[in-house]
Amino acid sequence: MIRFGRLFAALVALVLAAALFAGCGDDDVEPVGSPTPTTEDSTPVGSPSPDETSTTETVELEVWFTQDGDLFLTHREVPETQGIGKAALEALLAGPSDSETDVDVVSAIPEGSELLGLSISEGVATVDLTGEFESGGGSASMFARLSQVVYTLTQFPTVDGVMFKLDGESVETFSGEGILLEGSQTRKDYKDQLPAIVVEEPAAGEEVTSPLTISGTANTFEATVEMRLVGPDGKVIAHRFTTATCGTGCRGDYETQLKFKVSEPTEAILEVYESSAEDGSRIHVERVPVTLVP
């Protein structure tokens, strides 16, 4: 299984090594098993190539929804395909899983929104959606749905920004809220949609063993990040804290391991949060459903 996101740096190193080995004149060499969205994503939606249906390899994708009004990172495993950008968008339009909705993960994208096409050129992905994409909701909902698409597509190294079309027409002013989409939209344009804490690992719904690796990014007071596992009875199974590489106004990375003991598979909620400096209450809580396995 191939994973995008935080393993991108490792993939870059592998590509450079392959290029050096092949020699300067071998410009057509591509890393085996590392698909990235290309102009081939412009193939008609709903018309998979033979490679898309026959492959046994899989790819793990980032798909961004929302929780408590902020972006929330989920993962989807799909068959390896050259149309990987299209696969990511289709997973986004399919909405959250049952286990994700159990912890209030939702999508700001209206039901009925469909993907009409996707093309990628010179670092810009142009996504064509049906008009339902701009229906309903206020400005908060509009910014949330735009950010979901932008963050989902810019996980790929070939995509720096996103241009939007609706029913084949380029969009410069989005929805009745009058949101101006000047140029390609990047993650920087929607950084305010990120929560204080993002959990990149584990994935929602994942079966995990001890020690559980927990990682992501955070912008918290003094870079402190806490986490705990809560069982179905509300009992805290395990708890610890760590620090990110940056905090109090800047976003840093964090990674730690949490040990736990269970005698049988147990449904639990991983809560990653910050303790309030004022009263010690839990704030900026990210809730990720997992199954603890002995």
Question: How many structural domains compose the chain?
Answer: 2
Please report whether residue 2 resides in a domain. Answer: no
- The CATH number of whichever domain residue 259 belongs to comes to 2.60.40.2550
Residue closest to 109 by CA, chosen among 76, 79, 66? 66
Helices and strands (DSSP H and E) totals, the chain: 5, 18
Count of other CB atoms within 10 angstroms of residue 7: 13
| Residues 165 and 202 occupy one common structural domain | no
Q: Which segments within 122-235 are labelled E, that is strand?
A: 124-129, 161-166, 169-170, 173-174, 179-180, 197-201, 206-208, 212-218, 224-230
Count of other CB atoms within 10 angstroms of residue 195: 22
| Residues 93 and 170 occupy one common structural domain | yes
| Residues 61 and 78 occupy one common structural domain | yes
| Residues 126 and 206 occupy one common structural domain | no
**CB-CB contact of 237 with 262 (8 Å):** yes
Distance CA 90, CA 149 (A): 11
Token digits of residue 44: 């008609």
What pTM does this model have?
0.83
| Residues 172 and 232 occupy one common structural domain | no
Token digits of residue 253: 């990375």
- pLDDT in the model for residue 5: 57
Looking up tokens 């249906």, which residue turns up?
53
Cα 286 to chain centroid distance, Å, stands at 14
Please report whether residue 138 resides in a domain. Answer: yes
| Residues 93 and 189 occupy one common structural domain | yes
Distance CA 172, CA 117 (A): 18
**Cα dihedral: 84, 89, 95, 96 (round 10):** 50
| Residues 92 and 173 occupy one common structural domain | yes
Please report whether residue 75 resides in a domain. Answer: yes
| Residues 164 and 223 occupy one common structural domain | no
Please report whether residue 14 resides in a domain. Answer: no
- pLDDT in the model for residue 46: 47
**pLDDT tens for the chain, residues 1 to 294:** 655 654 444 443 433 334 333 433 333 322 323 355 654 455 444 444 444 444 479 999 999 999 999 999 999 999 999 999 999 999 999 999 999 999 999 999 999 999 999 999 999 999 999 999 999 989 999 999 999 999 999 999 999 999 999 999 999 999 999 999 999 999 999 999 999 999 999 999 999 999 999 999 999 999 999 999 999 999 999 999 999 999 999 999 999 999 999 999 999 999 999 999 999 999 999 999 999 999
**CB-CB contact of 201 with 220 (8 Å):** no
Cα 99 to chain centroid distance, Å, stands at 16
- pLDDT in the model for residue 3: 59
Distance CA 276, CA 279 (A): 6
| Residues 201 and 178 occupy one common structural domain | no
Token digits of residue 192: 């305010």
Domain containing residue 73: 34-193
Residue at a domain's end among 193, 217, 245: 193
- pLDDT in the model for residue 20: 34
Distance CA 164, CA 220 (A): 33
Token digits of residue 88: 């990511």
- pLDDT in the model for residue 137: 87
Helix %, strand %, coil % for the chain, to 5?
Answer: 25, 35, 40
Residue at a domain's end among 193, 228, 250: 193
Distance CA 119, CA 294 (A): 45
Please report whether residue 21 resides in a domain. Answer: no
Residue at a domain's end among 169, 193, 217: 193
Please report whether residue 139 resides in a domain. Answer: yes
| Residues 216 and 185 occupy one common structural domain | no
Please report whether residue 283 resides in a domain. Answer: yes
Contacting residues for 27 by C-beta, under 8 A, at least 6 apart: none
Looking up tokens 């990047």, which residue turns up?
186
Please report whether residue 18 resides in a domain. Answer: no
Half-sphere exposure of 146 (CA within 13 A, CB side): 33
| Residues 172 and 266 occupy one common structural domain | no
